[in-house]
Amino acid sequence: MPAIDAKRFRATLTDELRAAWRALRAAHAGERFYSFGLYTAPCAEYLTVTASTEEGLARATAAYVGKRGGDPALRRAARRWSPGDSPLHAEGDGLLPKSGALRDDGPDPYDDSPEGEAAVKLVFDSAVAALRELDRDGLFGAGAEREALVLGVWYGDQPDEERVKYARLLNPGPVADRFERELAAGDEAFDALS
């Protein structure tokens, strides 16, 4: 398969992430967003958007406590940085159709080849570049609004070190520091609930 046109892919992903943020904000007006970013897999074989709000976290926490019991504060901490547990996560499906199609038309990510590896790297690098550009443009707000939001690139079973690496690439230092602390607190809460 041919290589992905890097410039076209990045521009498309940037445009779709901008539109996705606006769509999710409009659909959840009045909710307090605390995360937004790209959600994929280690080989970038699919692309979707993930986001979380404080209100969605409260709903997810109540559902977990209702099903499994446990301390609500621990449940909340354990779920905070689990993108798949956010009620908004499923809304991210289908928000990156053009970017996904460009990725699908590129090299097979499971192909052990330089082209396949380059395609995976392109997706992750483009996600970082797109989110940085949108942040510089002020899309995610300023001051307290921006400081409340963690931008990221996530995938399932992602090591915490990699989550923190992306947080540091995409967010002001104090935001990345808070994210790292909350991630550690979530791990401790999960262990306490196990």
pLDDT in tens, 66-88: 999 989 999 999 999 999 999 99
Whether 23 is in a domain gets the answer yes
- Contact between 175 and 64 (Cβ < 8 Å): no
Residue 76, in any domain of the structure: yes
Rounded Cα distance, 39 and 20, in Å: 13
**For residue 60, which amino acid is it?**
A
Mean pLDDT score of the chain, rounded to an integer? 95
Question: Residue 152 has what pLDDT?
Answer: 98
pLDDT digits (tens, 9 = 90+) for 145-173: 999 999 999 998 999 999 999 999 999 99
Below-50 pLDDT ranges, the chain? none
Distance, CA of 169 to CA of 189 (rounded, Å): 26
CA end-to-end span of the chain: 45
**Helix (H) or strand (E) segment spanning residue 194:** none
Question: Which pLDDT value is given to residue 109?
Answer: 84
Question: CA 97, CA 31: separation in Å to the nearest integer?
Answer: 25
Is the residue at 1 inside a domain?
A: no
Q: Indicate yes or no: pTM above 0.85.
A: yes
Residue 121 domain flag:
yes
Does residue 26 belong to any structural domain of this protein? yes
pLDDT of residue 194: 84
What are the E-state strand segments in 15-121? 33-40, 48-53
Kindly state the tokens that stand for 154.
Answer: 């996530």
Number of domains in the chain: 1
Residue 70 within a domain: yes
Rounded to whole angstroms, how far apart are CA atoms 85 and 22?
Answer: 21
Q: What is the pLDDT of residue 61?
A: 95
| Predicted pLDDT of residue 1 | 67
User: Is 61 among the domain residues?
Assistant: yes
Domain that holds residue 85: 6-193
Report the pLDDT value the prediction gives residue 37, as an integer from 0 to 100: 98
Does residue 114 fall inside a structural domain? yes
